[in-house]
Amino acid sequence: MHKTGKFEFLEHTADVYVAAYGKTLEEAFENAALAMFEVMTDTDKVSASVENNVEVEAEDEFALLYTWLEALLVNFETKNMVYSQFQIASIEETEEGFRIKAAAWGEKFNAEKHMQRVGVKAITYHRMEILKEYNKVTLEFILDI
């Protein structure tokens, strides 16, 4: 039965494919975090009034990117925090892999001030890439929305 004009099926994808850039790995990680929050809201409207320290460890750089973004997403889900500035103090190699020491600045999500775009459900390893060139790092990853 054809219900003309009542509805149509539109092309849809349940993820956002991001490429984040930086001169260094640290800067690229900062920009990856900014991109994730830009998917969720307009980060220009997020005041950098509250500082949260973030420290994560992982076995390799791919897991480090995943764990870094996931830690920020957990802060959004549990503390209702949205961020607009990030600073990676260090990415160090450890015996177990890698550790990030960083800070993120933002404020509590406020629906009247912060436009709600789409919710990020998860970070994925699907098609994750870390491309290192001279004076340029590109991180590619997919956010499940």
**Other CB atoms within 10 Å distance of the CB of residue 29:** 25
Contact 35, 18 (CB under 8 A): yes
Q: Name, in order, each residue with C-beta under 8 angstroms of 143's C-beta and a sequence gap of 6 or more.
A: 15, 16, 18, 36, 39, 120, 122, 123, 124
Question: Which token pair is 111?
Answer: 């629906």
| Phi (first) and psi of residue 94, to 5 degrees | -120, 180
This prediction has a pTM of: 0.90
Cα–Cα distance for residue pair 126/15, rounded to 1 Å: 11
pLDDT exceeds 60 at position 1? no
Confidence (pLDDT) at 109: 96
Query: For the residues 42-50, what does the mean pLDDT come to?
Result: 96
| pLDDT grade for 73, boundaries at 50, 70 and 90 | very high
Tens-digit pLDDT profile for residues 7-44: 566 566 778 889 999 999 999 999 999 999 999 999 99
Confidence (pLDDT) at 8: 64
Per cent of the chain over pLDDT 70 is 92
Mean pLDDT of the chain: 92
- What is the DSSP secondary structure assignment for residue 41, as one 8-state letter? S
Tens-digit pLDDT profile for residues 85-109: 999 999 999 999 999 999 999 999 9
Confidence (pLDDT) at 12: 61
| pLDDT grade for 134, boundaries at 50, 70 and 90 | very high
Which CATH number, 3.55.10.10, 3.40.50.2300, 3.30.413.10, 1.10.8.10, labels domain 16-144? 3.55.10.10
Distances (CA, A) of 86 to 8, 36, 53, 83: 42, 12, 10, 8
Cα–Cα distance for residue pair 64/62, rounded to 1 Å: 5
